[in-house]
Structure 1
Amino acid sequence: MSDAPARPAQAVDRHMLEALVCPQTGATLSYDPARQELISRAAGLAYPIRNGIPIMLIDEARKLD
């Protein structure tokens, strides 16, 4: 295990996030900075953001409880 400090999450371009919609429903998304996810309440899915890049694939999304 490394003693190196944790890397901060990469900044996400807010203008880009405003342009994205859920690929399943076309609904707007909300940004969860703590989990680095884009949330689609309409679809019940959370799309991950990896290295500052939203992964907008339904197969990669986490189902919300």
Structure 2
Amino acid sequence: MIDTKLLDILACPACKGDVEYDARNEKIICTQCKKKYPVKDGIPVMLVEEAEE
């Protein structure tokens, strides 16, 4: 689970949009460009190269 305080300060590195956490798939999803960033061992990997479209 990702702390909601962390989600409040994270932004998509590609478009600077807000993000939300998908606990089922363990992904951080941008609400604007819809890129999906993986969460590995509880740590968000906010790298554009690691994102899924």
Same topology, TM > 0.5: yes
Decide whether the 8 Å contact of 2:14 with 2:48 is kept in 1: yes
TM-score, length-scaled by structure 2: 0.87
Decide whether the 8 Å contact of 2:37 with 2:44 is kept in 1: yes
| Equivalence for 2:37 | 47
Quick one: which of 19, 27, 31 aligns to 2:21? Answer: 31
Q: Which has the larger radius of gyration?
A: 1
Show structure 1 runs of 5+ residues with no match.
1-10
Whole-angstrom CA distance in 1 between matches of 2:26 and 2:36: 9
| Equivalence for 1:5 | none
Report Cα offsets for 1:17-62 as digits up to 9, x if no partner: 1110000111101111100111114223100111110000001011
TM-score, length-scaled by structure 1: 0.73
Matched residue SS, 1:17: helix
How well do the aligned residues superpose, as a CA RMSD in angstroms? 1.1
Q: Which amino acid aligns with 2:48?
A: I
